Amino acid sequence: MIRTVQEKDAEAICDIYNHYITNTIITFEEQTITPVEMLSRITKVLNAELPWLVVEDDTGEVAGYAYATKWRERFSYRFSVEVTVYLSAEHGGKGLGSQLYQALFDKLKVLGIHSVIGGITLPNAASVALHEKFGMEKVAHFKEVGLKFDRWLDVGYWQATF
């Protein structure tokens, strides 16, 4: 089931995201975050009147989430967003990322969003495939812009317009 995030989801979302912080290059954050910090991030997205969705597994546990943030603050960018999706380590490869993105993109279209942008730390074949599945095309590649685990990393940007 996919639904709008609730305050009670902050801890489960933290657990999912903190796994990526401590074990992967997918996010450039290096310090785990608390449920209070996550709730602040969730509130910021919702206060901007943008969607934050979660998907539950068969047991009702949060298995992943997706959301959109403003691309930039200036008024002229108001129809552009950056999208993000994360799944728990146990739920990858089951199509939940696609389900979340489909629901997120549907909501963004209703909101009148024109441009959707996704940043991906490279290499990340699964994320590239997911973004391209939704018609997103690679539009930028920044070399060695992030340092994590003593390794310089590239970031690519994918974009689609509605």
Does residue 129 lie within any of the structural domains?
Answer: no
Give the whole-number percent of the chain exceeding pLDDT 70: 100
What is the rounded CA–CA span in Å between residue 26 and residue 64? 15
Does residue 128 lie within any of the structural domains?
Answer: no
- The model's confidence at residue 136, banded by pLDDT at 50, 70 and 90, is very high
Reported pTM = 0.96
129, with CB counted inside 10 A (0-12, 13-18, 19+), is exposed
Does residue 140 lie within any of the structural domains?
Answer: no
> Mean pLDDT throughout 24-44?
97
What is the rounded CA–CA span in Å between residue 104 and residue 83? 9
- Containing domain of residue 104, as a range? 2-114
What is the pLDDT at residue 92?
A: 83
What is the pLDDT at residue 14?
A: 97
Q: What is the CATH number of the domain that holds 60?
A: 3.40.630.30
Using one digit for the tens of pLDDT, what is the confidence trace for 54-110?
999 999 999 999 999 999 999 999 999 999 999 999 988 889 999 999 999 999 999
Does residue 125 lie within any of the structural domains?
Answer: no
The tokens for 74 are 């200036």
Does residue 100 lie within any of the structural domains?
Answer: yes
Does residue 130 lie within any of the structural domains?
Answer: no
- Residues counted in the chain: 162
Q: What is the DSSP letter of 150?
A: T
pLDDT at 47 over 90: yes
Does residue 77 lie within any of the structural domains?
Answer: yes
Does residue 153 lie within any of the structural domains?
Answer: no
Lowest mean pLDDT among 6-15, 83-92, 141-150: 83-92
Pairing of strands 52-56, 62-70: antiparallel
What is the pLDDT at residue 138?
A: 98
The number of domains in the chain is 1
For the chain, the average pLDDT equals 97
